[in-house]
Structure 1
């Protein structure tokens, strides 16, 4: 089965900053474009880090506190205190950046976002140059596939060549992404694996089985 990847949902092109971009300019960019993070690129447009609003807030949190750590502070607090003294992107950014390519699967992109608690990821080419961005909202575009398109992929690809399953013995219905399977399979033990296979079709919300053994 063909799977959707980042290229199918990403935004081509992206706002970026250089390592010497001033603090205030970063804030202006985030506000002007209604985004919460911006990639930092070098002179060749290669992504070297990311600055998020979370990296800017310590400037408020530790205002007037100085840069000397307290003995009771944990590592995270010490890092935040250090960023409170930063004045440019190179000092503020998180590096190395978590990135994806246009051929990264949506599953892999979603897992990267979840693992690192990120809402958006820079998309890079084979040389690490910035070519776009993908957000959590972008990933949800897969659920905009039409029911007819989802059904076509299930019937023509997902069910093709599955041992013990005769497509002529099955009826597939799709309503708002929910797939209902009706008919017979050779053995009841085939049902869980068949459901799992169909759940992997992009855009499927749920699978309801009314299958019975022949």
Structure 2
């Protein structure tokens, strides 16, 4: 038998708390506590009050201020925290408290509440360009944007296309990804952007653009993103004008804000169904090397996989560090002119590399253990996916190494895998 409490509030339709109906205020309050609570609101068909008023739905002249009953069921341990907030909210009504013997409490996880609309989650006022914007200017905007996609608008502010990092590389001749370009000094950034072809946005954009109305449910937006395998969606209003952008990061922040602590639910002996763990979704085909591996081999592996990272482990498989192309640029900062060629995806007319020979020798002699990042944020296989999302958002990570209880590397998780598994 589980020890619970039942809180009953007898109030009315006209009761207000800070200009909001008491019913709405109480529901929002209990929702925001993120505890194992259930609320039911019922409206009476008739009733009377201490002041002598009488209300009934059967007579139109008396069908005002009908009685309302709010019934809240909570674990006994949560009682005091809930009552503390309710006391000031119920400005007109009666609050009652009962003991409740509960035989069982079962619930199912939800990635995020189904009532959420796209407009509740999107980022408003995103950067955009017109069809006549030069490629180099669009690249500069993307370089400084929080999004990896830039909507292209017509004269009526309606999206007609979108420019992504992939478009810049494949159609615009950008020699490397934007994240890597951002690691370089301002002079090199400008040199690369100035040498891009003199093309306009409409020549490299992806069109038609996949977008969604701000009045659609968030569940529909996620369905669309997964079906089309895209990372972001331009959001439009009823007239088709751009009002925002919806990205995976917006969705993950919503999950962080809305998700309760499922582990605390289990600790209270509440049966939670459909819980998903990191171990269920991790990607195991990740390249790993030993600390003594030459950097020339590390670079080949980085260039050969879409994860753009190589894991460093010892002979027993214990995770020691991680190497990305950014680590290489930082390590070889004094010889960046030479290392740059190894990651360029296009042959731009850079000045003659004065240290190519010495750099190649350095790459062969330098070992993975000397350059790897060791201050790693990791996840365990038993971690809930909601916890992994919170960790990745907090640390601004796109991928997260996963280890077992002995510190052995098991695989990698990404934002895409978290979204697909969580929403399934």
Measured against the shorter chain, the TM-score band is: 0.5 to 0.7
| Cα separation, 1, equivalents of 2:265 and 2:202 | 44
Distance 1:137 1:100 in 2: 17
Distance 1:176 1:35, change over 3 A: farther
Structure 2: distance between partners of 1:90 and 1:177: 52
- List per-residue Cα deviations over 1:155-181 (Å, max 9, x = no partner): xxxxxxxxxxxxxxxxxx954687964
Identify unmatched segments of 5+ residues in structure 1: 63-83, 151-172, 183-194, 197-203, 206-214
2:157/2:241 contact within 8 Å kept:
yes
Q: Distance in 1 between matches of 2:217 and 2:155?
A: 29
**Structure 1 residues 139, 87: closer, same or farther in 2, change over 3 A?**
same
Unaligned 5+ residue runs, structure 2?
A: 1-112, 176-195, 275-384, 387-424
- Alpha-carbon distance between aligned partners in 2 of 1:5 and 1:141, rounded to the nearest angstrom: 14
> Does the CA contact (< 8 Å) of 2:117 and 2:216 recur in 1?
yes
Task: Give the aligned partner of residue 254 of structure 2.
Answer: 142
Tell me the distance in 2 between the aligned counterparts of 1:145 and 1:27: 32
Q: How does 1:1-214 map to 2 (within 5 A)?
A: 3-58=115-170, 59-60=172-173, 87-145=199-257, 174-175=262-263, 181=270
Change (3 A) 1:177 1:48: farther
Deviations 1:3-23 (A, max 9, x none): 112122111111000000001
For residue 133 of structure 2, give the secondary structure of its aligned residue in structure 1. coil
Q: CA deviation at 1:34?
A: 4.1
> Counterparts of 1:26 and 1:46 in 2: how far apart (Å)?
17
**Does structure 1 conserve the Cα–Cα contact (< 8 Å) formed by 2:118 and 2:213?**
yes
- CA–CA distance in structure 1, aligned partners of residues 157 and 124 of structure 2: 14
Q: What is the rounded CA distance, in whole Å, between the counterparts of 1:24 and 1:113 in structure 2?
A: 28
**Equivalences, count:** 145
The answer for the alignment partner of 2:366 in structure 1 is none
Asked if the contact 2:135–2:197 (Cα under 8 Å) also holds between the matched residues in 1, the reply is no
Q: CA deviation at 1:135?
A: 0.5
Which SS does the other structure have where 1:110 is aligned? Answer: helix
The alpha-carbon deviation at position 142 of structure 1 amounts to 3.1
* 3-state SS of 2:130 partner: coil
- Return the TM-score normalized by structure 1: 0.57
Q: Is the 8 A contact 1:86 1:92 kept in 2?
A: no
Alpha-carbon separation, structure 1, partners of 2:114 and 2:174: 48
What TM-score, normalized by structure 2, do the two folds share? 0.30
CA contact (8 A) 2:134 2:198 kept: no
Distance in 1 (alpha carbons) for counterparts of 2:116 and 2:203: 36
Name the SS of the counterpart of 2:137 in structure 1: helix
**Whose relative contact order is higher, 1 or 2, with alpha carbons under 8 Å and at least 6 apart?**
1
The structural deviation recorded for 1:118 is 1.4
Cα deviation, 1:8-53, whole Å, max 9, x if unaligned, reads 2111111000000001001100112243210000111011111111
